[in-house]
Amino acid sequence: MSDRSYRRPRVLSQLREHLRDTFWFAPTAGLVCVLVLWGAAAELDAEIISSLQDQQEYEIIEDLIELANDAKTIVTTISSAMMTFIGVVFSISLVAVQMASGQLTPRVVRIFVRSRITKATFSVFLATFLLSLLVLTSFESKTDPRLVTSVPFVQGVLTMVMVGLSMLLFIAFVTSMLRLMQVGPVVDRIAREAMHAVVRQPGGEREPAPLAAESAWVPYNGRAGVLRDVNVARLVRIARRQGVVLRLIPRIGDFVVPGTPMLAVHGTGELSRRALSYTVSVGVERTFHQDLGFGLRQLSDIALRALSAAVNDPTTAVQCLDRIVQFLTVVARKPLGAVHHRDGNGEVRLVQDVPGWTDLVDLALAEVRLHSAGNPQVSRRLLAGIDDLLLIAPGERKEPLIRHRALLVQAVERAVPEAAEREFALLPDRQGIG
């Protein structure tokens, strides 16, 4: 069995992750919310005026009219300046993202798209602009307290609150953009998302039960692209209803084309291809949702770019190796291999292949090792990381680590002919060259 109790996947987890990878949902939701708030505030303003007129408190109504007229100038200024402000913020975003993608990897654009601060800032800015326009429509030309039907006092206060919130979010947004242009925070963000993927991923079976004979396979019939994730809850429900076990043939992150096998059916139950609609998600890029190796792929890409002759930034490569070692340390004792998703009765209904320990070690170390032979800072950090992992990894998982260590030593011996320099480059150091 797995190393922990199985937790059934949430039905809406896939939808939530897909919405986080979009940039339109949060601003659209913000605009809808501000429409509802404005409607409630306008109704409240009308109720206040109606109540005061019933009580014949005309002096108070005149004071509210004067306050509203004073606020009208401010609201007009806000409505005219907010779109300019949004344009400035968008320009800052494009510059920050361009610098980060050029310095690190183009895949950091995904961090910007998924940033809650970025989405909240744009949502509140657009909502404030829309609210100011709506409030301007609520002003009446009548000044007689006996004839007015509404004075946008509450609406004006709500607009001021939105402006204050916009200022606070702008400060947070600029701080977030500055962090996006720094190597450390970006690498830390990638590592944290990779750790979350590990936590969400059920452990592999130590002694998996044998599957029934394969009776059929279901081809993929959508558009070509990267397999981002699968709707585990839906597939488990379909397999339970038909009395079969499904096996996902490609791994998450594989590029799939129409006509290739997607699901293997184990058992004698009949399976409708139509029932499998909306069970797999294919896109143009990989995501962290169910992809165990995507974090290592990004960290390795950043390290490789840093080690290129054009950049020559070994310190950034060492920072990536710090996080790579951290990730491998977390999964060193985790059961890997095929994941068995179970139904409510504990029966296996979906088998999903995930990268094994050797796959993850090769992904994390192979390319960086090939480009680190002539750089003592990186070779020393890589050796120290491998030595630390050898102390943690179980005996059956030491082989790929020993292999990469031996290959690194051989590469350094070929690249560095001087004995003293070679000895220095092969001295393990957790800081590279501290």
Q: What is the pLDDT of residue 1?
A: 38
Is 152:140 a contact under the CB 8 Å cutoff? no
Q: What is the pLDDT of residue 427?
A: 93
Residues recorded for the chain: 434
Q: What is the pLDDT of residue 150?
A: 80
Q: What is the DSSP letter of 281?
A: E
Q: What is the pLDDT of residue 219?
A: 87
- Average pLDDT per 10 consecutive residues for the chain, totaling 434 residues: 44 68 87 93 88 83 81 83 82 80 79 85 91 87 78 87 91 85 88 88 67 83 89 87 89 92 84 74 86 91 90 91 95 86 86 90 94 91 95 93 95 91 92 84
- pLDDT 10s digits, 297-329: 999 999 999 998 888 889 999 999 999 999 999
Q: What is the pLDDT of residue 257?
A: 94
Q: What is the pLDDT of residue 11?
A: 52
Residue 283, beta-bridge partner list: 226
State the DSSP string of 355-411. Answer: --HHHHHHHHHHHHHHT-TT-HHHHHHHHHHHHHHHHHS-GGGSHHHHHHHHHHHHH
Q: What is the pLDDT of residue 12?
A: 56
H, E, C per residue of 156-177: HHHHHHHHHHHHHHHHHHHHHH
From residue 23, alpha-carbon distances to 102, 109, 190 in Å are: 21, 12, 19
- pLDDT 10s digits, 201-216: 776 665 566 787 888 8
Q: What is the pLDDT of residue 22?
A: 81
Determine the Cα–Cα distance for residues 386 and 388; give it in Å rounded to an integer: 5
